[in-house]
Amino acid sequence: MRSISEAGVLEPGNVTSMGELREECGVAAVYHLPGVGCSPLCPEGPDQATRLLPKMLLDIQNRGQLAAGMTRYSPHDPQLLLTHKDVGSVTEVFSLGHRERFERLGAILSGPAGIGHVRYATCGREDAGYAQPFERHHIKKHKWFSFAFNGQLANYQELRDRLLEDADHHLIRETDTEVIMHVLCRELMPNPAPDLLDVCRVFPEEFDGAYSLVFLNALGELMVVRDPCGIKPLSWAFDGRFFAAASESVALLNLGFSPEDIKPVEPGRAIVVSSAGLREETFFESKRRAHCFFEWVYFSNVASTLDRRSVYLARKSLGEELARLETLDVHDGHTIVVPVPDTSKAAADGLAYALGIPCLEGLIRNRYAGRTFIEGVESRERKARAKYTPLREVLEGKRILLVEDSIVRSTTMRVLLRRMRDLGRPSEIHVRVACPPIISPCFYGIDMSSVKELFAPHFLTEGRLTEEAQAKMAEQLGADSLRYLPVESVARAIDLPAENLCQACITGRYPTPWGQILAAESLQHFQCGISGRAFEIPAQEAATSSAKCGS
């Protein structure tokens, strides 16, 4: 890994060993075709297209605040590919708050094509060596490449073990990104350069899981790829001269593309852009779609449209689904709806409008506290206390319908309810969750941990959500009542068939073979009292513990 210092000098990155990374990330890519004039979306000229990447990454910063980076291609520089990445927010990594440094960095990283990445690491130390893109140098231009991806390979451990069966092979990091890099290296080995779309055809044979991927080589070829299930989102737009792609449509909309020009990269398809133009082709005919429903519920920017479905309208509809289930007499003159900012706001609005009662901002969010569900327990509790400030002027004496988008481990909700009672003094707090209970881990890029660490599974009987279970959960949380949405509400709200969504974390049914294998192992570990994630526990330890519990 190479990063650029403030003086513009290339420095070696800090590479150390750490635990396996599981990430919820974002990717972006730009390419201005040569010899076709200047696109109005890239006013500084074709060779300055990459100056737009930090802006795009800022628009998808919600997907990752731990690290950021980009690789640019420039045919006018002996350093055909140049990568800059580091730990920190987009503003920090690209010096957006310091005009002189930003301009200096922009000049060094200018070019007609580039890819970018923002990252959350869900365990392990903060380490610049794990920031993406990953660049691989080679004397052959088609073998000199950089790439970044959003997702996670469920069969990572199997791929890693297979690579290391050869004693001459060595992996520096514990991350599926490095495994993908080695598969790319192998497929790019032939001379002359293979067709990039042919390289993609091996992915379904090798990779089980989610991967929305951006790739750039020293020939000036850019490629964006979406896995055959389409688990993670990826959008693209092209005006005939300027191409851009990003994990979320909002980044393309803010570049100036019209909503009509922005399309999803279809599952199992790749788009290759080079000086010769643009090619879009299917590399694998997928038998099913499995779009991550949690993108609409929580992760994505509310202004985004994913697979032609508005995030805002989906969340609003989730609130309307909650309203259909409400049994309290809310027309008593002192019942109000309060969202947990910010991702629950649309659902709270939908609930309040459908019920005909006020929706008020009773909680003010500290926007610099960050998200908490990916932190350690003590850190989550500390951040949860600092994350929201209850407003007594709004809450005091009121009966609150508190709308939350989801409950994963419950740490934030417990702390929040205590603070609301202590500082806000409401008469009652009734929690309404615009999502079904999270009952199973995610192996496709969202750190939902092991079954043992999830909140809901401890209360459900054979996975069934009952009124009694919800009452027990409410008592544990410190709420007067608790209501989740049923699973069938999700597909209705998103307006996609249930079979086209990945709902594994709320159903226990996974769209890929390795997801199902890991889920079965995780459930067995939960039943046997084994701590840790299924793919992190040594086989011998798991076998011994399973034998002890009679499995």
Catalytic residues: 25
In angstroms, the CA 211 to CA 152 distance is 6
Query: Radius of gyration of the chain from Cα atoms?
Result: 24
Give residue 426's identity as a one-letter amino acid code: P
Nearest CA to 102 out of 177, 57, 139, 51 is that of 51
Compute the Cα dihedral for 81, 50, 83, 446 and give only its sign. negative
In angstroms, the CA 243 to CA 241 distance is 7
The residues near 456 (Cβ < 8 Å, ≥ 6 apart) are: 407, 437, 438, 439, 465, 473, 484
The residues near 89 (Cβ < 8 Å, ≥ 6 apart) are: 61, 65, 68
In angstroms, the CA 355 to CA 359 distance is 10
Compute the Cα dihedral for 57, 60, 62, 68 and give only its sign. negative
Please name the helix (run of DSSP H) or strand (run of DSSP E) that holds residue 117, with its range, or none.
strand 113-119
Do residues 343 and 298 touch, judged by C-beta distance below 8 A? yes
Nearest CA to 143 out of 131, 135, 151, 153 is that of 135
Would strands 481-484 and 428-433 be described as parallel, antiparallel, or unpaired?
parallel
In angstroms, the CA 169 to CA 174 distance is 14
**Joined tokens for residue 451:** 């079954």
DSSP letter, residue 422: I
Instruction: Kindly provide the residue ranges of all beta strands, DSSP E only, lying in 161-282, ordered along the sequence.
Output: 209-217, 222-226, 235-238, 242-246, 263-264, 269-274, 277-282
Name the phi and psi angles at 128, rounded to 5.
Answer: -65, -25
In angstroms, how far is the first alpha carbon of the chain from the final one? Answer: 45
Chain CA centroid to CA 117, Å: 11
In angstroms, the CA 203 to CA 211 distance is 10
Question: 518 in helix, strand or coil?
Answer: helix
Please state, as a whole number, how many other Cβ atoms lie within 10 Å of the Cβ of residue 35: 7
The residues near 203 (Cβ < 8 Å, ≥ 6 apart) are: 183, 211, 225, 227, 283, 284
Do residues 383 and 370 touch, judged by C-beta distance below 8 A? yes
- Mark 51-75 as b/e (b = at least 16 C-beta within 10 Å): bbbbbbbbbbbbbbbbbbbbbbbbe
Give residue 66's identity as a one-letter amino acid code: L
In angstroms, the CA 192 to CA 143 distance is 10
The residues near 194 (Cβ < 8 Å, ≥ 6 apart) are: 142, 187, 188
